[in-house]
């Protein structure tokens, strides 16, 4: 049984707390909640009363010997500092996305985990969606052939009241970026998990529908992946009324589309099947064969998040601690997502194409092609 403490009592801290306080399914006998801590003691006390656990300060929580692991659910720019402190206190650490807001901060956290010998994981729950698992298996098995292109579309709306709800939102230091770093980093991680690392980016960003933010509300990018596939990215919080997030991966033998966490389209040419001079124009959707729709609507938390993907990621993290293997989303994976986002920001700021190696380290900038 892994005993968790949660740092941060906002919406995601409360969501993970409810999963841990009432474990079921994959979490049964694996994890339970021991305590929560936050900057606002009143808010922490209310959450602790709801979840039936202790409300502590951060220092008190990290000093508790009956807490084995810490979930860091605080503003993004505080993740590395709090994660390092938890690792030094001998805790395993699971960090809400992103790992932090810069690759350098991510490196500090990864190095601290290596020194401590403790497990470090990053919440990227969409890798645990059934649709994502089907897509990953198909790509690894070669069912789509060579991957040729990737589309990442995150067309959301966030009203000014959203940014006003927390003083850290929309700030460069604590949010790290806008629509891309905060909202679209999940889709960037999923795309890299499916198609391989981003190794090149050219981009534009803008602040077009919100006043007073330090970060963008629209980002577009042209991407190149390590295997040669080309990609297009749109991330925005200025697309009223907001639409669903979509990741599409296309290959020479098939294509897959994940829309709103569901397998919206899947088609792979079967062995010996000719692809045809003009393809099938989207006909022959095989999605239901690979990922049948559920008989009942999936269970969501009060904040609208699906419970199953987070619950399965928590179970994976617990198993990783128990067995000593890396979790599915480890520190290196979390860093690659941050590095890809930073490559887009750097490309937009400088007007140059930014190149990365497979680990997300910068190689050199080259002039953008006219």
Residues identified as active-site: 97
> Residue 369: CB partners within 8 Å, gap ≥ 6?
353
> Residue 137: CB partners within 8 Å, gap ≥ 6?
none
> Residue 206: CB partners within 8 Å, gap ≥ 6?
216, 217, 218, 219
Nearest to 339 by CA among 208, 209, 206, 180: 180
**Sign of torsion over alpha carbons 91, 94, 96, 102:** positive
Nearest to 145 by CA among 57, 19, 317, 269: 269
Angle at 125 between CA 239 and CA 15, to 5 degrees: 85
**CB neighbourhood size of 248 (10 A):** 21
Nearest to 306 by CA among 129, 101, 55: 129
d(CA 308, CA 190) in angstroms, rounded, equals 17
Phi-psi region of 63 (alpha: psi -120 to 50; beta: other; left: phi over 0): alpha
Angle at 127 between CA 124 and CA 129, to 5 degrees: 115
Cα distances (angstroms) measured from residue 326 to each of 163, 207, 260? 35, 38, 28
Strand, coil or helix: 20? helix
In degrees and rounded to multiples of 5, residue 5 shows phi and psi of -115, 145
The first and second tokens of residue 142, run together, are 């070669």
The first and second tokens of residue 199, run together, are 């190794």
């Amino acid at each position: 049984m892994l005993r968790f403490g949660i740092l941060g009592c906002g919406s995601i801290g409360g969501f993970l707390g409810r999963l841990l306080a009432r474990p079921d399914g994959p979490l049964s006998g694996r994890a339970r909640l021991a305590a929560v801590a936050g900057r606002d003691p009143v808010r922490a006390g209310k959450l602790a009363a709801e979840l039936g656990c202790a409300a502590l300060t951060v220092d008190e929580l990290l000093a508790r010997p009956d807490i084995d692991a810490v979930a860091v659910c605080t503003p993004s720019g505080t993740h590395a500092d709090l994660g390092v402190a938890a690792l030094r206190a001998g805790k395993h650490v699971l960090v809400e996305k992103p790992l932090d807001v810069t690759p350098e901060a991510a490196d500090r956290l990864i190095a601290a985990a290596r020194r401590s010998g403790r497990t470090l994981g990053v919440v990227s729950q969409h890798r645990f969606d059934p649709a994502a698992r089907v897509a990953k298996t198909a790509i690894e098995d070669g069912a789509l052939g060579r991957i040729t292109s990737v589309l990442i579309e995150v067309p959301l709306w966030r009203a000014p009241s959203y940014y006003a709800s927390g003083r850290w939102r929309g700030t460069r230091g604590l949010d790290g970026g806008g629509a891309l770093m905060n909202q679209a980093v999940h889709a960037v991680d999923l795309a890299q998990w499916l198609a391989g690392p981003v190794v090149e980016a050219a981009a534009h960003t803008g602040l077009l529908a919100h006043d007073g933010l330090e970060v963008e509300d629209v980002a577009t990018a042209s991407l190149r992946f390590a295997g040669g596939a080309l990609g297009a990215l749109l991330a925005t919080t200025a697309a009223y009324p907001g639409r669903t997030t979509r990741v599409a991966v296309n290959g020479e033998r098939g294509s897959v589309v994940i829309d709103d966490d569901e397998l919206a389209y899947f088609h792979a040419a079967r062995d010996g099947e000719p692809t045809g001079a003009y393809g099938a124009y989207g006909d022959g959707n095989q999605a239901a064969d690979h990922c049948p729709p559920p008989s009942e609507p999936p269970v969501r938390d009060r904040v609208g998040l699906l419970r199953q993907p987070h619950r399965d990621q928590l179970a994976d993290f617990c198993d990783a601690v128990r067995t000593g293997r890396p979790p599915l989303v480890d520190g290196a994976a979390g860093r690659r997502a941050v590095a890809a986002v930073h490559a887009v920001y750097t490309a937009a700021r400088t007007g140059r194409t930014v190149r990365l190696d497979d680990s997300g380290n910068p190689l050199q900038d080259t002039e953008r092609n006219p």
